[in-house]
């Protein structure tokens, strides 16, 4: 018994010492979306303050593809030492149920560090579409069932789920057109390649404010500060409708003291005035969690998304 206790104590001291020495080399943040989207903006907003805090370079790498699974696989195969972080979105908790195979185990190979932000999703249309409200959009979609399309940042992520929930709530038939990131989806909507865009506010607000897209509704229960003139779906005749997006950070499963150190530094970064201002301008609300709370949140999100995916029979392959 004494020997067993000694082994545990030595392991604990070793883990704590390892965390104190972290980081011992540059840290990578993998953003599994193209440049210009919400995940990329979050990663780059965090990188400079974290670099100062760590005394090491923090490098952002965009590794889009496979509904974020390419970026996730890179982190899953990295050393379990916290030097490679992954920015995740709802697609992380969707992929296990929408894909027949993944090159990693979502809940064994990763550990939650913290949720970083949450944000509203905006439903916007090309200005040529003759609708200015949810009511008019629903009427047009019912008159042209299956003809209207909505672009999203990925095959099956938070925006796709929000779009499908909206479609189900208002009772219309619209077709999803997925893109490999929020920026390409927004560009396609501006070019008239899709009738609608279901997007993070950060990716489409500049285009809505400039009149290149027309905001129809946001999916939060209250109006978004960046788009205060765009009503909510709830106030547009569908009380209680809400479909928020979120982004967080995970690492390959690593010693708890190291994960807690990462958590503390990200939470400190989110409290910096310049970071708060940058997030607010993008329509993002800092919403950090402890590692334990974030792990629980991810499992709850996975359970909810599994029900939605099965109900709507959504699959990537």
User: What would the pLDDT profile of 137-169 be if each residue is shown by its tens digit?
Assistant: 999 999 999 999 999 988 888 999 999 999 999
304 prior amide bond cis, ω within 30 = no
User: What would the pLDDT profile of 281-301 be if each residue is shown by its tens digit?
Assistant: 888 989 999 999 999 999 999
pLDDT above 50: residue 6: no
* pLDDT band at residue 248 under the 50/70/90 scheme: very high
What structural domains does the chain harbor? 22-118+244-312 (3.40.190.150), 121-236 (3.40.190.10)
* pLDDT band at residue 315 under the 50/70/90 scheme: confident
3-class DSSP assignment, residue 118: strand
| Residue-wise DSSP of 154-221 | SSSSHHHHHHHHHHHHHT---EEEE-SSHHHHHHHHHTTSSSEEEEEHHHHHHHHHTTSSEEEEESSS
pLDDT above 50: residue 13: no
pLDDT above 90: residue 262: yes
pLDDT above 70: residue 186: yes
> Is pLDDT larger for residue 123 or for residue 18?
123
Look at residue 3 in the predicted model and tell me its pLDDT.
55
Cα–Cα nearest to 163, from 152, 171, 155:
152
Average model confidence (pLDDT) for the chain?
Answer: 91
Look at the block and give the residue holding tokens 């990329």: 40
Percent of the chain residues topping a pLDDT of 70: 94
pLDDT above 80: residue 308: yes
């Amino acid at each position: 018994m004494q020997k067993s206790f000694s082994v545990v104590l030595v392991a604990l001291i070793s883990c704590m010492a390892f965390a104190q020495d972290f980081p011992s080399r540059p840290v990578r943040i993998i953003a599994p979306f193209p440049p210009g989207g919400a995940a990329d903006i979050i990663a780059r907003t965090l990188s400079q303050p974290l670099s100062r805090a760590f005394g090491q370079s923090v490098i952002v790498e965009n590794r889009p593809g496979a509904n974020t699974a390419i970026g996730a696989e890179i982190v899953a195969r990295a050393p379990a030492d916290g030097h490679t972080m992954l920015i995740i979105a709802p697609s992380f908790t969707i992929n296990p149920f929408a894909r027949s195979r993944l090159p990693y185990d979502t809940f064994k190979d990763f550990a939650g560090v913290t949720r970083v932000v949450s944000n509203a999703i905006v439903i916007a249309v090309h200005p040529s579409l003759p609708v200015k409200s949810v009511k008019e959009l629903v009427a047009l979609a019912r008159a042209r069932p299956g003809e209207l399309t909505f672009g999203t940042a990925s095959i099956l992520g938070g925006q796709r789920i929000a779009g499908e929930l909206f479609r189900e709530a208002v009772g219309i038939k619209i077709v999803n057109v997925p893109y490999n990131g929020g920026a390409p989806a927004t560009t396609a909507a501006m070019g008239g390649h899709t009738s609608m865009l279901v997007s993070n506010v950060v990716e489409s607000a500049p285009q809505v404010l400039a009149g290149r897209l027309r905001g129809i509704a946001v999916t939060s229960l209250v109006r978004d500060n960046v788009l205060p003139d765009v009503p909510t779906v709830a106030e547009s005749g569908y009380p209680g409708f809400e479909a928020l997006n979120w982004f967080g950070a995970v690492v390959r499963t690593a010693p708890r003291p190291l994960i807690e150190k990462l958590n503390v530094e990200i939470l400190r970064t989110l409290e910096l005035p310049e970071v708060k201002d940058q997030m607010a301008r993008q329509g993002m609300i800092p919403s950090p969690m402890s590692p334990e709370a974030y792990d629980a949140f991810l499992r709850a999100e996975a359970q909810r998304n599994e029900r939605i995916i099965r109900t709507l029979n959504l699959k990537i392959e």
